[in-house]
Amino acid sequence: MKKPVYLDHAATTPIDPKVLNVMISVLRDNFGNPSQSLHDYGRDALKVVQQARLEVAELIGADPKEIVFTSGATESINLAIKGIAERFADRGNHIITCLTEHPATLNTCKYLESKGLNEITPLPVDPCGRIDLDQLEKAITDKTILITLMAANNEIGTTHPIEQIGSIAQRHGVMFHCDATQLVGKADLNVKTCNIDLLTLSAHKIYGPKGAGALFVRHSYPPAHPIPLLHGGQQEQGLRSGTLNVPGIVGLGAACRLCRQNLPDEPQRLKNLTEKLYQGLTDALDQVTLNGHPTEKVPNILNLSFAGVEGEALALALKNLAVSTGSACRSARLEPSHVLWALKRDNQLSQSSIRFSTGRFNTPAEIDYAVDYIAETVKKLRHINPRYPS
Digit-coded pLDDT (tens) for 12-53: 999 999 999 999 999 999 898 888 888 988 888 999 999 999
- What is the arithmetic mean of pLDDT over 106-127? 96
Residue 331 has pLDDT above 50, yes or no: no
Q: pLDDT > 70: what percent of the chain?
A: 97
Residue where a domain stops, chosen among 237, 262, 287: 262
What is the 8-class DSSP label of residue 254? H
* Domain presence at residue 8: no
Helical spans, DSSP H, in the chain: 17-29, 40-60, 73-87, 103-114, 133-139, 162-171, 246-262, 266-284, 311-317, 338-342, 347-350, 364-383
DSSP string, 189-242: --TTTTT-SEEEEEGGGTTS-TT-EEEEE--SSSP--PPPS--SS-TGGGTS-S
Best CA proximity match to 305, nearest among 340, 261, 267: 340
Q: What's the pLDDT band for 316 if we cut at 50, 70, 90? A: very high
Best CA proximity match to 175, nearest among 252, 82, 247: 82
Same domain, 274 and 164: no
- What is the arithmetic mean of pLDDT over 350-359? 93
Same domain, 228 and 330: no
Query: In DSSP terms, which residues pair with 306 in a beta bridge?
Result: 288
- The SS3 of residue 19 is helix
329 is catalytic: yes
**pLDDT (tens digit, 9 = 90+) per residue, 164-216?**
999 999 999 999 999 999 999 999 999 999 999 999 999 999 999 999 999 99
Best CA proximity match to 156, nearest among 13, 289, 347, 346: 289
Residue 289 · residue 346 · CB < 8 Å: no
Residue where a domain stops, chosen among 262, 296, 320: 262
For residue 298, give its domain range: 264-383
Residue 326 has pLDDT above 80, yes or no: no
Instruction: Output the domain CATH number for residue 250.
Output: 3.40.640.10
User: What pLDDT, on the 0 to 100 scale, is given for residue 333?
Assistant: 47
User: What pLDDT, on the 0 to 100 scale, is given for residue 197?
Assistant: 97
CA neighbours within 13 Å on the CB side: how many for 259? 31
Average pLDDT, the chain: 93
Residue where a domain stops, chosen among 242, 262, 282: 262
User: What pLDDT, on the 0 to 100 scale, is given for residue 328?
Assistant: 42
User: What pLDDT, on the 0 to 100 scale, is given for residue 387?
Assistant: 76
Best CA proximity match to 240, nearest among 253, 231, 249: 231
Query: How many residues in the chain?
Result: 390
Residue 379 has pLDDT above 70, yes or no: yes
User: What pLDDT, on the 0 to 100 scale, is given for residue 347?
Assistant: 83
Same domain, 301 and 211: no
Same domain, 313 and 235: no
Please state at what angle helix 40-60 crosses helix 246-262, rounded to 10 degrees.
30
Domain count, the chain: 2
